[in-house]
Structure 1
Amino acid sequence: MEKAIKLVDIRSLSLAQLKDALVEMGEQGFRAKQIYEWLWVKSCTDFDEMSNLSKSLRENLKSRFAINAVKVRQSQISNDKTIKSSFTLYDGNVIEGVLIPADDRMTACVSSQVGCSLTCKFCATGYMDRKRNLNADEIYDQVVLIAKQAEEQYGHPLSNIVYMGMGEPLLNYSNMIKSVERITAPDGLNMAAKRITVSTAGIAKMIKKLGDDEVRFNLALSLHAANDTKRNEIMPINEQNSLKALAEALKYFYAKTKNPITFEYIVFHHFNDELEDAKELAKFCKHVPCKVNIIEYNPIALADFVNAEADKIEEFATYLRSQGITTNVRRSRGKDIDAACGQLAIKEKAGQVTD
């Protein structure tokens, strides 16, 4: 019995690698650029649609390569117009992404892993197992599909991307970097790097690597406590990446990139909502040029945390501003469909599957 040939994911190849593969197949190397344009500029996911290639070349490509396209499985629209989508991957795994519309921007929130290994106590994704990293093209596909939703539903192009969905981007470093390269490249989606924010729970050595690579996108750190004891309690990653280690990594990152940092901070009721907590955060902010986004907490069934009282949040923000720290209080979007920050955990609604 003849053994089936395992098809190579064509989007895992660089342009040079694709050119070499074509020559090896007996095809003309210059076709690589045409194929690359179909894959990354036109976001084509079907060889048969590559109309400027001969039928014989298309058949040759199909015999050796796969385009492991991500497909929308289900979409839900929130009362505030946020759209949460679950996406099916080529191997049957499912992830989630979100379109967050606002008056001045259209933001795609994308996932970088299937599940997550960091077990942050307040995050629904943290209670899931990490099954695998996403490939660069799977991250890219989420952006393309969410951008299509922005155009079709609201008539506006996608303006921003945040790597704040399922998973820890810095634990999928090479694929995250490659996805940003394809999204920002002139022979890709050609989006400005400054419109992309990668959010991390805080892995010091990888933050330093971002500095060494002199990345141009924005970096956000999910801080949530500027006190090691409290941070250890809610974010086990802090036990190996203390605040001191993170401060050193952030200073190194800023020295290399000159990119200010965004600190994300959820103010939990009776946990980190006192003036002393605000003072600790203000002190931590002195390490690098930064701003603070105070994020509304979105309760999950698996955890007992609740959002701080509105007056406590306002007092907290007022203190930070009094210390000269740019501080924004972010209201949750998509909470009614479990699309808000910390709620992504593949909870689908019956009758909503769209594929």
Structure 2
Amino acid sequence: MSDAQQKNIRHLTYAEIEEYFLQIGDKKFRAKQVYEWLWQKHAHSFEAMTNLSKELRTRLGSDFSLPALLVNTTQHSGDGTIKSRFKTFDGHMVEGVLIPTDNRQTACVSSQIGCSLSCKFCATGYMDRKRNLTFDEIYDEVVLINQQAEKAYNKKLSNIVFMGMGEPLLNYNNVMKAIERITAEDGLAMSPKRITVSTAGVAKMIKKLGDDKVRFKLALSLHAANDEKRNQIMPINESNNIKALIEALNYFYKNTKNEITFEYILFKDLNDGLKDAEELVKIYRQVPADLVNIIEYNPIDAFQFTKPDEESTQQFIQYLEAHKVNAHLRRSRGKDIDAACGQLANKTREEALA
């Protein structure tokens, strides 16, 4: 069978793998062996499936493909953050980050190669969207970052956030399938309550999450508390304005009762004034949100804004807290490496390793 005809074996269901073995005159239990290698032992080649005969491994290799992500390069920050650039089977680059704290090991994963939303403050926003990541590629990101956590910190991942490259809700089916495999007993068996999907705000798809009664948490990248300012930095707001997003978030909560977080990056002289804080309070009161994450900006060359000084940041947070908003300042991690989303994938290999 030629490469063009080969089907990715990880895109087959368990029943389809069973059927394959029966068709070639083998035993059904082979499906269990192969499935374990694919989703629990994380084999990235048929050769690695050592409890199968050499002949069977060769047959599988001729009948199926098994594309997998590979670590292309890693950067280690002084604060313990590990950023990786992964290479896909067709030569694209995508990022993932391990963010360790005293009580958590969090994987920040990507859902697309590039992005179509063009958010002005995001390095990925200046890259064209090449394609969606498949669900097995997203799964590989989590597996590889988990291996880094075990090697560097002797701990497994405790949390996953879909806050890397791309817009998860514009790759809906693959993200849902990836989470299904990550949470499955015969996958990584992680609780969905430890997974957060972050969106720039696709109202229609936020409602679909509610219809599908997902069990994971949702974060909205708000970053400005009125439409005029949000339009400036996030073009998606022109078709998904704040009113539409508030309605969608309430629909999501009504159907799932899952935790909602607002993400809000502070930019000096853009969205960091007390008037901005007042508008943010009004939005917070219209949605059953658990938290507002105030995020320290990690600057990129293409965006003219910078982060505000410490005094302005504290005044902003104090205003929120005085108005009974549960606000948390999330400090930027990996300042000494290419930490901003998309920065590392944007570099050539030579630049990244220089």
TM tier, smaller = over 0.9
Q: Give unpaired runs (5+ residues) of structure 1.
A: none
1:261 — aligned with what? 260
Distance 1:3 1:324, change over 3 A: closer
Distance 1:42 1:6 in 2: 26
| Alpha carbons 1:125, 1:344 under 8 Å: kept | no
* Structure 2 unmatched runs, 5+: none
AA of the residue aligned to 1:311: E
For residues 64-86 of structure 1, give each alpha carbon's deviation from its aligned partner in whole angstroms, at most 9, with x where no partner exists.
11111110010111121211111
Shift of 1:41: 0.9
1:46 paired to 2:42 = no
Structure 1 residues 4 and 93, CA gap change in structure 2 (3 angstroms): closer
| Cα RMSD (Å) | 1.7
Instruction: Summarize the alignment of residues 87-126 of structure 1 with structure 2, pairs less than 5 Å apart.
Output: 87-126=86-125
Q: Write the mapping of 1:1-355 to structure 2, written as runs, cut at 5 A.
A: 6-290=5-289, 291-341=291-341, 343=343, 345-347=345-347, 350=350
- AA in 2 matched with 1:124: A
Quickly say closer, same or farther: Cα 1:3–1:192, change in 2 above 3 A: closer
Offset from partner CA, 1:60-110 (integer Å, 9 cap, x none): 211111111110010111121211111110001111111111111111111
Q: What is the identity, as a one-letter code, of the residue corresponding to 1:299?
A: P
Change (3 A) 1:310 1:348: farther
Q: 1:264 corresponds to which letter in structure 2? A: E
User: Using the alignment, how far apart are the partners of 2:137 and 2:346 within structure 1?
Assistant: 17
> Normalization by structure 2: what TM-score?
0.95
Bigger drift between 292-301 and 7-16 goes to 7-16
Report the 3-state secondary structure (helix = DSSP H, G, I; strand = E; otherwise coil) of the residue aligned with 1:47. coil
Q: Distance in 1 between matches of 2:143 and 2:208?
A: 27
Per-residue deviation, 1:21: 2.9
Secondary structure at 1:336 match in 2: coil
TM-score, structure 1 as length reference: 0.95
Secondary structure in structure 2 of the residue aligned to 1:174 = helix
1:205-240 Cα offsets, whole Å, 9 max, x none, are 110111111111111110001201110110000111
SS of corresponding position for 2:277? helix
Query: Per-residue displacement from partner, 1:252-293 (whole Å, max 9, x unpaired)?
Result: 100111012110001111111111111111111112221100
Taking the aligned partners of 1:82 and 1:202, their CA distance within structure 2 comes to 27
Percent of residue pairs bearing the same amino acid type: 61
- Contact conserved, 2:122 with 2:340, CA < 8 A, in 1? no
Q: What one-letter code is carried by the residue in structure 1 that aligns with 2:238?
A: E
1:169-212 CA distance string (max 9 Å, x none): 11100000111111110000111111111111000011011111
- Per-residue deviation, residues 4-32 of structure 1 (Å, max 9, x unmatched): 65221111112122223333333333322
8 Å Cα contact 1:96-1:346 kept in structure 2: no
Question: In the alignment, is the contact (CA less than 8 A) between 1:332 and 1:341 conserved in 2?
Answer: no
SS of match in other structure, 2:332:
coil
